[in-house]
Structure 1
């Protein structure tokens, strides 16, 4: 391969990487928080989530302690951001379910733990790592996913997901 062709391949690869990254996006996050005892608790989480510039709206269900976060188109947020915001408010995530474009889960940071396939223009999946489910649920999942080599490693930048639809 001559020098010009090598440069073309490198440029094409870079363009492809950035175009995939820009298409990857979370559309909506449903966060069930734990440890809340009153409406002031939910207000603290609500305020933290709204500090993200990518957040369009946050709806709160006080009966289930669930926060439905609608996000701007083209965002590049990761599940880690939601965990950090909830913990900054002084609480923990019990469940994190994300709705995203299918190409989002093709990124190397997402590791599929079930055999479901993604269909449609948007998919819904749950992050099943420690810190994204309750401690009790994590212990149960650790047994179920013992064959997934990366699951027990608790790498903060890898997200093990279970496709729901």
Structure 2
């Protein structure tokens, strides 16, 4: 019995190491000057899973490169931008998928979180793919309203599993994404 538990643990660890986020492009709104950008950059630099950050001042974007095999807290990214006094307008995350089957309105366990795919065709994701986060804390109010009309599950408004189907869920937090 101990051998079976050890084998299951090893497989879970091996799978977790393969499923990971690589980088994110975070577009902030409300930045009006270089000091605003600097304050946001300094706030983002405190994230323990970020290896380096590049900036694109013309697009008011920050390119966060994550540490290899680090546990990435996507909500913490949004919180750091808000802590600096600004808002997140858009977040696109590059994730490394290993034959992950996705379909519309389906939950997929990934990197210790549950991703809820919205407005996607059935497909198998392989290699690095960009996914756009569409939860309220990752998009503008206008974009959130647009996606609210497309998502029928209650978890889109609350972000928790308690308000959604439990099919494929591996965590309490559900992060809504599209491709």
Q: Which residue of 1 aligns with 2:174?
A: 158
For these two proteins, the number of residue pairs brought into alignment is 157
Give unpaired runs (5+ residues) of structure 1. Answer: 1-5
- The range that moved more, 134-143 or 99-108, is 99-108
Q: Which residue of 1 aligns with 2:116?
A: 111
1:54 deviates by 3.0
Give the structure, 1 or 2, with the largest relative contact order (CA under 8 Å, sep 6 or more): 1
**Structure (1/2) with the larger helix percentage:** 1
- The range that moved more, 44-53 or 26-35, is 44-53
Deviations 1:107-140 (A, max 9, x none): 2521111324354421110111111101111111
Q: Which residue of 1 aligns with 2:103?
A: none
Which residue of the other structure, out of 132, 135, 154, is the alignment partner of 2:141?
135
CA contact (8 A) 2:97 2:128 kept: yes
Q: Which residue of 1 aligns with 2:130?
A: 124
CA contact (8 A) 1:21 1:76 kept: no
CA distance in 1, matches of 2:51, 2:157: 34
Q: TM-score, normalised by structure 1?
A: 0.84
Q: Larger C-alpha radius of gyration, 1 or 2?
A: 1
**Structure (1/2) with the larger strand percentage:** 2
CA contact (8 A) 2:24 2:91 kept: yes
Q: TM-score, normalised by structure 2?
A: 0.78
CA contact (8 A) 2:91 2:139 kept: yes
